[in-house]
Chains A and B, each alone.
Chain A
Amino acid sequence: MTPPAHSLLKSDDRTRRRRASEARFRACGLAAIGIAALALAVLLTSVLANGAGAFRQTYIKLQIPLPEASLDKAGQRDPAAMAKVSTFGYAALLHAALLDRIAALQIETELADQDVAAMISKEAAATLRDHVLANPHLIGGMAAMDVLAAGRIDGYFKGRVTLKSAAMDGNTSPQALQLARKLADADVIETRFNWRFLTAPDASDQRPEAAGLGVAMLGSLYMMLVVLALALPVGVAASIYLEEFAPRSRISDLIEVNISNLAAVPSIVFGILGLAVFINFAGMRQSSPLVGGLVLTLMTLPTIIISTRAALKSVPPSIRDAALALGASRMQAVFHHVLPLAAPGILTGTILGLAQALGETAPLLLIGMVAFVRDYPVAYSDTAGLFGDAATALPVQVFNWTQRADPGFAERASGAIITLLVFLAVMNTAAILLRRRFERRW
């Protein structure tokens, strides 16, 4: 064993090799960070690129004559009689209005009249009908209205549909797109911000241009209310018991192990539980926000319990001792002194739990929240009870739209994701701010 005799100032081969391997290792680490960052960037860009279009919508500005002869033959403005005129009657009016407009602008087109009519969304007739039924005084005059353009026309103005793709598409034609371009130049067709996307209910398979998130957002809101109302008190109570009162025993050990395992149970298992227990056994309503909320409550409970316990643990024992020394009972020490100090931590954990619940999809599929729902659910009704009305949820709506054939729905799905991510970003930011604001070092 001879000591290395060489000078420190001269680097030997071995050291050079070791330094090279060091550099390689370090590069691997940097590459890992790079992969993660790249994945995030690609993911967000792809969602934004695909979904931004959902927030813009193409409308056709029309002056629609509303002749009494076809809309209210009796002339009595009797709602029941007027309702007899179906959407077909209104569709004809829309078509005529568009054709008149094209003629008035002296735009030449080789398109057959029925193909021109197809440029208007099928949803438009229903919208016009609702508008007229709500405002009977319009009959006999003209209604100025911006009606939805058909999905392909809408896609053309967003770059999704091109002249080339239209040539192979049975639902539109290059001529229709050219006509649309001319109409846009004449300011008859306009693409603008799409409020309807956030408020309107879902639409049928043929009408992606009309589909919106209104019902889904309402359903998600109801479920979050249920989760908040149940998971917060139950989670906090359970944490207080486990952290402050539970004797160190087999049973509390069991509960503890149980909670950490429950936190790692696949979410779909909670869906099976919901289906078997709440719907099949207890006979609660399918697709209802109540059942969805209950399932999500059970799913988020472990998250909330774990973070609440951490918050309780971070309150130093001296606070408890001080209260106990003044003659407070342990219950009073916890509720009067420990809990208020732990509140910001508990709140942070709850918000994060809610965020997790908001994005959860799989269990909701099993309890029937994939159903097609067009009516806004009400919070309480005599027949369905509290939160019993059928609804969907934001993430489930995304899934729903991915399963539809029309490419317009792919855009809507990504748009819904953007909406969902905005909500999640707001919730997480709130949690972070809350943590910063109240972070306390003892």
Chain B
Amino acid sequence: MKDIDVIERSRAGARQKISARNVQVRYGHTAAIKNVSVDIAADTVTAFIGPSGCGKSTFLRCLNRMNDTIDTCRVTGEIRIDDEDIHDPKVDPVQLRAKVGMVFQKPNPFAKSIYDNVAYGPKIHGLARTKAELGDIVKVALEKAALWDEVKDRLDSPGTGLSGGQQQRLCIARAIATAPQVLLMDEPCSALDPIATAQIEELIHDLRRNYCVVIVTHSMQQAARISQKTAFFHLGSLVEYGDTDQVFTAPRDSRTESYITGRIG
């Protein structure tokens, strides 16, 4: 067991964060993901692109076991984060999700104040010993999410009262506050206007320094702008995976080429 680990690590390189092998997902009888294997590096922004229904969001949700919450969903195959199998019976998804944060397509702030929205994660995971510490965590998270200046005077007002872009940044701040190592983003800008999108993209760019960011996006331009690695999904399979520049300029697979030139999707 130990030996295999060593071999794996040496093969994948020290900066490998997530490695997925032969992942399959079924909803009832329909297969949503077929045999996907991929290695995702730390301190990198990795983009999943592909036409809608290609399984990229489903695969993303495997990485923090969010698919567990759907009754009919079955995931097989192996996913390792920091070389630990996340489907190991000893792994509590609660701890996994603290390590692997997630931001959703539609901003989904809780029906609480801005402060409580951000403080929620640290509170349940016991990251702060005192109130002051908690306050600091909230402040830092909001600063990282570039929201602090806009909301610092109204931390007690409800999070649902913010604009769409602010709500999404609040959700990012909420995810950051839990101190994750991986941040999964499921089309985080699809419900936002161009200005808010630009703000979020800038934010993702900054986040890359501390987190392994995996982002699902519908927009190829966005993927090209913010990611270093790109994976192209089609009909539940991983078609191509490589450096973003290479995927967009010299795709190896004809399906990738069709997609990025606008012929499918």
Contact = CB atoms under 8 A, between A and B. Distances in A.
Partners in one complex: yes
A1 B140 contact: yes
Contact of B181 (A3, A10, A11): A3
Given A7-B84, A15-B92, A18-B124, 13 more contacts: A1-B127, A1-B179, A3-B99, A3-B179, A3-B181, A4-B99, A4-B125, A8-B82, A8-B88, A9-B84, A9-B90, A11-B95, A19-B94
A11 B99 contact: no
Contacts of A15: 92, 94-95
Interface string B98-135: 11000000000000000000000000111100000000
B216 interface: no
Interface of A: 1-4, 7-12, 14-15, 18-19
With a 10 A CB-CB cut-off, give which of A4, A8, A11, A18 has the most chain B CB atoms: A8
30 contacts: A1-B127, A1-B136, A1-B137, A1-B140, A1-B179, A3-B99, A3-B179, A3-B181, A4-B95, A4-B98, A4-B99, A4-B125, A4-B179, A7-B82, A8-B82, A8-B84, A8-B86, A8-B92, A8-B96, A9-B84, A9-B88, A9-B90, A10-B90, A11-B90, A11-B92, A12-B95, A15-B92, A15-B94, A15-B95, A18-B124
Contacts of A19: 92, 94
B81 interface: yes
A54 B94 CA distance: 59
Nearest to A12: B95
Interface in B151-185: 179-181
Contacts of A3: 99, 179-181
B91 interface: yes
A19 B125 CA distance: 12
A2 B94 contact: no
A3 B95 CA distance: 12
Contacts of A7: 82, 84
A85 B17 CA distance: 107
Nearest to A16: B92
Nearest to B127: A1
Interface of B: 81-82, 84, 86, 88, 90-92, 94-96, 98-99, 124-127, 136-137, 140, 179-181
Chain A contact residues, majority secondary structure = loop
Contact of B91 (A2, A9, A12, A18): A9
Nearest to A3: B179
A10 B180 CA distance: 17
A8 B88 CA distance: 9
A1 B144 CA distance: 13
B18 to A, nearest CB: 12
A19 B137 CA distance: 25
A10 B90 CA distance: 7
A2 B179 CA distance: 7
A19 B93 CA distance: 11
Contacts of B127: 1
A199 B99 CA distance: 73
Contacts of B125: 4, 14
A18 B98 CA distance: 13
A56 to B, nearest CB: 50
Contacts of B84: 7-9
B137 A8 contact: no
A3 B183 CA distance: 13
Nearest to B89: A9
Contacts of B98: 4
